[in-house]
Structure 1
């Protein structure tokens, strides 16, 4: 049985201005891995990184759906998403 309430979606802004979105069960540890170049291949060489968004979910399924929805957004939509306080409804509407 999956643990409840320990699932996160996060977004990083990279040195080159691009965004990386991911899923984790521990944002702090995952962020450190990214900063050390041991996270996702995409973020290697794009440090320093800035954590611009994180949201906790009750289930892994919900978090993975939100991650997918965010990844479907255009760059302009991602900028708006971050600027407006990252209201997840903006992204999840993309799933419907």
Structure 2
């Protein structure tokens, strides 16, 4: 997903073990590189490589943080439905 530089976003990555991790960033490419080189979140360090499966823009850091919290509260099944809907919408 291409975002303007400095645009805050909420993202989900799928780890090598199949788990999902939610985060926020204003430089998504850099953040994904950090996850994959081991300098990202502690959760993803032992679950590399990670791949981006979902991203949505946020108005600012505050909105991104709130949405990240909402995503982290969702059960895995709900996250997978969100991904399926997003993939269907982006492939049309």
Normalized against structure 1, the TM-score is what?
A: 0.80
Where do 5+ consecutive residues of structure 1 fail to align?
87-96
* Separation in structure 1 between the aligned mates of residue 80 and residue 59 of structure 2, nearest angstrom: 26
In the other structure, the counterpart of 1:55 is 56
1:59-91 CA distances to partner (integer Å, 9 max, x unpaired)? 1111111101000000111111111107xxxxx
Please state how far the C-alpha of 1:52 moved relative to its aligned partner.
0.3
- Pairwise CA distance, 1:20: 0.4
CA–CA distance in structure 2, aligned partners of residues 83 and 48 of structure 1: 22
Deviations 1:36-59 (A, max 9, x none): 011000001211211001111111
Structure 1 residue ranges, 4+ long, deviating more than 6 angstroms after superposition: none
Structure 2: gaps (5+ residues): 1-5, 88-92
Which piece of structure 1 moves more, 57-66 or 30-39? 57-66
Question: 5 Å matches for 1:38-77?
Answer: 38-77=39-78
Aligned positions, number = 82
- In the other structure, the counterpart of 1:35 is 36
